[in-house]
Structure 1
Amino acid sequence: MTSASTDNPAGFAFDNRYARDLEGFYAPWQAAQVPAPRLLQFNRELATELGLDADALDGPLGAAIFSGNQAPPGATPLAQAYAGHQFGGYSPQLGDGRALLLGELIDRHGQRRDIALKGSGRTPFSRGGDGKAALAPVLREYLMGEAMHALGIPTTRALAAVATGEVVQRDGRAPPGAVLTRVAASHIRVGTFQFFAARGEAADLRRLADHVIARHDPALQDHANPYLALLQAVAERQAALVARWMAVGFIHGVMNTDNMAVSGETIDYGPCAFMDHYDPATVFSSIDRDGRYAYGNQPHIARWNLARLAEGLLPLLHSEAEPAVALATEVIDAFPARYQHHHLAQMRRKLGLQGEQADDAALASDFLASMVGQAVDFTQAFRQLGELAQDPSGGRDAGLRALYLDASALDAWLPRWRARLALGANSGVDGAAGSLVAMRQANPVYIPRNHLVEAALSAAVERDDFAPFETLLRVLRQPFQADPAWAAFAEPATAEQAAGYRTFCGT
């Protein structure tokens, strides 16, 4: 890692392997110049983690770099090529229509990280769009990425948000424009593989797979079938990721194959939202009219997307088609069990279950089933349950029961849960206290509740008032630590606030 100098005051030390090794996989490009860049949000903690000089970047220099007006030393700006299935329909060429990969850094932990601009103007992949971004979606992605990171969920993160000093045209409106700087383990997607597979470019497909293995799974390089092992590794990461989404009520909203990163990070926070009342059919996205990406469908869509990756990898899995299909099918068919494994691990933590028992899955499923049709707040239900972990008498059940329209479903379930807690406490080293601690660490008090997010974004966009945004960001960075001063941030939306709520893709 090089230190800051007069020629490189921010300390950028790029090592741009994607640009160097994968020529033909991108279009070299430059960001559009903006008239009046203003640094709105800067993630100093993340900048330090990346080995950058936060003090140097927290001002005009940061505004210039993170708006795209000034490329940092060593950057090689490029728009990546990829394809993808969007709502089940295949688009052979998508690509970075409003994003630019500036380059890659090695962070203080030795991990390679992409630095990319989003909303930095048109590229050869823009397909008629302006390549710009409005302020509200930029701030939403900043907020959501930080919230997911604090929840312990793999995610891309925002390094900066910059106002451009211009407006963008969106559906007859002219909101202020902005640019997001996004940090990722990589921006390689399932759709990146689809782009080359659909063209029958086997040599480029192999180059891409070798690049991904070297970057994300170097231990697989000596595997007997490294490309099959790569498919298994990506599937395992997605099983774990979606299980984590489901555990906190997160709905991605647009799980197209071009929005699934092979790194296993959550990427592309467009019409995303968090569920208030538990309902597997919950959809907030305005463009998801048929509920394809509903909360309860997310594990199934992850498997479907992985099947598209498997199809693309077939030429690498085996020299003959039939054995290649058999190998790929085995991985895809194993996905539901791998997802259930990770989901049950999450549910054991959320329910405070120590050890493993055969009926744990049924216990977890029955608790979720008890909420259906009862207008139960998902986040509050698990948090309230945690307060009962040291209450074998049932004297504190009122708080949980009050969340239900009809709590009779709990009459049979709570004794089963308490018996299972006691079984774990008797065999575990931490006892009931350990269950309580585990549940408080697994069940957040605060999530990005939709009405709070909208209020914060409205204040910033309409009044240039960032105080609500910054307060909400501060709360969401400590999701498991209850603070009486933040009680309002734990409350679900009122019926009026929740009625007809929709999210939008932001493009």
Structure 2
Amino acid sequence: MMTSSYIAAPVFAELGDGFYDPVTPARFPVHHLRFRNQRWAERLGLGELDDAAWETHFARFEPLPGNLKAPLALRYHGHQFGIYNPALGDGRGFLFAQLRESSEAGGRLLDLGTKGSGTTPWSRGGDGKLTLKGGVREVLATEMLEAAGVYTSKSFSLFETGEMLFRGDEPSPTRSSVLVRLSHSHVRFGSFQRHAHARDVERLRRLFDFSIEHYVPELHGAKDVTGLEERVVAFVKIVGERSARLAARWMATGFVHGVLNTDNMSITGESFDYGPYRFLPRYDPDFVAAYFDEGGRYAFGRQPTVVLWNVARLADALRPLAPDADFHPAMLAFEDAFHTAMRAGLLARLGVVSREVDEDARLVDGIYGFLDADAGHPRSVGYDAFFFDWYGGIPRAARTMASARADRYQGPAFDAFHSALAGYAAVRPDALGDAYFEREDPCTLLIDEIEDIWSAIDTRDDWGPFEAKIADIRAMGAVMRLRAE
């Protein structure tokens, strides 16, 4: 049963023809529930659904009360590795339902979408299915990023579906799954690119107005007092700043998305679509997540530049609505927002209170100076362990300098960092007494850990390591209290 917190809001269908295609969900041989996000279900009034109802809605995809009558495969285009692709769209997923948060929780419009739910008109010959390993990886990614304070989609439900799939990039046949994601929006940069590419100004304008109404309320209220060109420029600026903050949080977290195509960028500045992602084992600007990214276009250190490039493509797509607009200030705003958010993100990871901008910049320089110097050492501290060891600032020094990594904290680069850190106060001094900070190593999600978790599932059907990792991630998040939407 739904509680009073459930507020159906199926507004995307109002956009009408040209924005989506109604589709029929796949039917699966079995439905084994492997993950249920109870805490987000409760926030949306779905927490009291029993197992049968959960399966009915999130494995069989029977409509939620008052919601979309049929799933919608959304239409969009996108630049993929810099090359424009007009053959995109939801090829193995769809928009299943839309809900509204309560006004007390902020009143946001939220989407429930799928991955692995069968073929659509945009499947391009694929089977529309998701491997179980892919589903497991996405659950782990979203849990880790949420705990790390990154604005991310949430894995809402994962069912194993009993089919054997064949893939060219992993051992096959392999087990199958269907995932439900919770997101703030499914409006992508590529959604605008599609209509701009078709020179369909009427639909472009309709999507723009829809986006402002539901995702940029500060501009929606100004539509009667500002012109269209002003709103378009302001929209690009706001979306750019959101995207800059996302890129900064990825960098502070040591996360490499892997496929930063324009169809994987949301106007809400929300991270989503986790394919060949990685978390940094050690600081390396050239670290690449995707084996097929041979030129390193989406390497860790290039993510901010690529995201800005994507924002510029959004501006290009909106040009038909504002032919004479000057988007240069919006691009400059991205740079400012990124550097501000980068300083804030790194200080949040260190658990220290911001001081003057110049002091914060010196500390940031000290952080990366040490990480860069340390990266080439055969016993590198590692990206996550560094922030773990120095969380809370100088008060953490006594324990850190008695740890197994103590010998790595020496030399000119460390001295510069340590000097810059002096005088910074802990955000939460009480957190340093938590059991989490008494352990030797932080909670991490490196590729070897993910492979071990999958191996236990694949070879022994042992879900214990998967469940233990989620519990550990959530425990870390509870201690760190890094804000994520």
How would you bin the TM-score normalised by the shorter chain? 0.7 to 0.9
Which digits, 9 at most, give the CA deviation of each residue in 1:54-85, with x for residues without a partner?
342xx233223222353444333110000001
Given that residues 48 and 54 in structure 1 are in contact (C-alpha distance below 8 angstroms), is that contact kept between their aligned partners in structure 2? yes
Which digits, 9 at most, give the CA deviation of each residue in 1:168-196, with x for residues without a partner?
11127111111001111111111111111
After superposition, residues 418-437 of structure 1 pair within 5 angstroms as 418=422, 421=423, 432=425, 434=427, 436=429
Which digits, 9 at most, give the CA deviation of each residue in 1:418-449, with x for residues without a partner?
2xx1xx5xxxxxxx4547568999x9932323
Q: Is the aligned partner of 1:265 residue 2:270?
A: yes
Q: Is the aligned partner of 1:300 residue 2:305?
A: yes
Question: 2:368 aligns to what?
Answer: 368
Question: 2:86 aligns to what?
Answer: 92
- Could you tell me how far apart the structure 1 residues matched to 2:428 and 2:354 are? 7
Question: 2:209 aligns to what?
Answer: 210
- Could you tell me how far apart the structure 1 residues matched to 2:461 and 2:348 are? 41
Q: 1:45 to 1:33 in 2, by over 3 A?
A: same
Given that residues 12 and 72 in structure 1 are in contact (C-alpha distance below 8 angstroms), is that contact kept between their aligned partners in structure 2? no
Match of 1:153 among 150, 153, 177: 150
Question: 1:381 aligns to what?
Answer: 386
- State the shift of 1:304 in Å: 0.5
Match of 2:283 among 271, 278, 282: 278
Given that residues 384 and 400 in structure 1 are in contact (C-alpha distance below 8 angstroms), is that contact kept between their aligned partners in structure 2? no
Given that residues 401 and 407 in structure 1 are in contact (C-alpha distance below 8 angstroms), is that contact kept between their aligned partners in structure 2? no
Question: 2:483 aligns to what?
Answer: none
Q: 1:315 to 1:471 in 2, by over 3 A?
A: same
- Could you tell me how far apart the structure 2 residues matched to 1:114 and 1:481 are? 25
Q: 1:466 to 1:20 in 2, by over 3 A?
A: same
Given that residues 34 and 159 in structure 2 are in contact (C-alpha distance below 8 angstroms), is that contact kept between their aligned partners in structure 1? yes
> Which stretches in structure 2 are left out of the alignment for 5+ residues?
481-485
Q: 1:303 to 1:133 in 2, by over 3 A?
A: same
> Which stretches in structure 1 are left out of the alignment for 5+ residues?
425-431, 484-507
> TM-score scaled to structure 1, two decimals?
0.83
After superposition, residues 165-176 of structure 1 pair within 5 angstroms as 165-171=162-168, 173-176=172-175
Question: 1:68 aligns to what?
Answer: 60
Amino acid of the residue matched to residue 96 of structure 2? Answer: L
Q: Is the aligned partner of 1:144 residue 2:141?
A: yes
Question: 1:54 aligns to what?
Answer: 48
Question: 1:17 aligns to what?
Answer: 11
Equivalent residue of 2:192, what SS? helix
Equivalent residue of 2:358, what SS? coil
Question: 1:34 aligns to what?
Answer: 28
- State the shift of 1:461 in Å: 2.9
Question: 2:345 aligns to what?
Answer: 346
Equivalent residue of 2:390, what SS? helix
Given that residues 314 and 328 in structure 1 are in contact (C-alpha distance below 8 angstroms), is that contact kept between their aligned partners in structure 2? no
Q: Is the aligned partner of 1:45 residue 2:39?
A: yes
175-184 vs 447-456, greater mean Cα deviation = 447-456
Amino acid of the residue matched to residue 79 of structure 2? Answer: H
Given that residues 31 and 69 in structure 1 are in contact (C-alpha distance below 8 angstroms), is that contact kept between their aligned partners in structure 2? yes
Equivalent residue of 1:103, what SS? strand
- Could you tell me how far apart the structure 1 residues matched to 2:410 and 2:60 are? 55
Percent identity between matched residues is 35
- State the shift of 1:391 in Å: 6.8
Amino acid of the residue matched to residue 53 of structure 2? Answer: L
Question: 2:458 aligns to what?
Answer: 461
Given that residues 91 and 128 in structure 2 are in contact (C-alpha distance below 8 angstroms), is that contact kept between their aligned partners in structure 1? yes
Given that residues 189 and 266 in structure 2 are in contact (C-alpha distance below 8 angstroms), is that contact kept between their aligned partners in structure 1? yes
Match of 1:449 among 446, 451, 460: 446
Question: 1:500 aligns to what?
Answer: none
- State the shift of 1:151 in Å: 2.0
Given that residues 44 and 54 in structure 1 are in contact (C-alpha distance below 8 angstroms), is that contact kept between their aligned partners in structure 2? no
Amino acid of the residue matched to residue 213 of structure 1? Answer: I
Q: 1:435 to 1:68 in 2, by over 3 A?
A: closer
Q: Is the aligned partner of 1:256 residue 2:261?
A: yes
Q: 1:447 to 1:395 in 2, by over 3 A?
A: closer
- Could you tell me how far apart the structure 2 residues matched to 1:54 and 1:24 are? 36
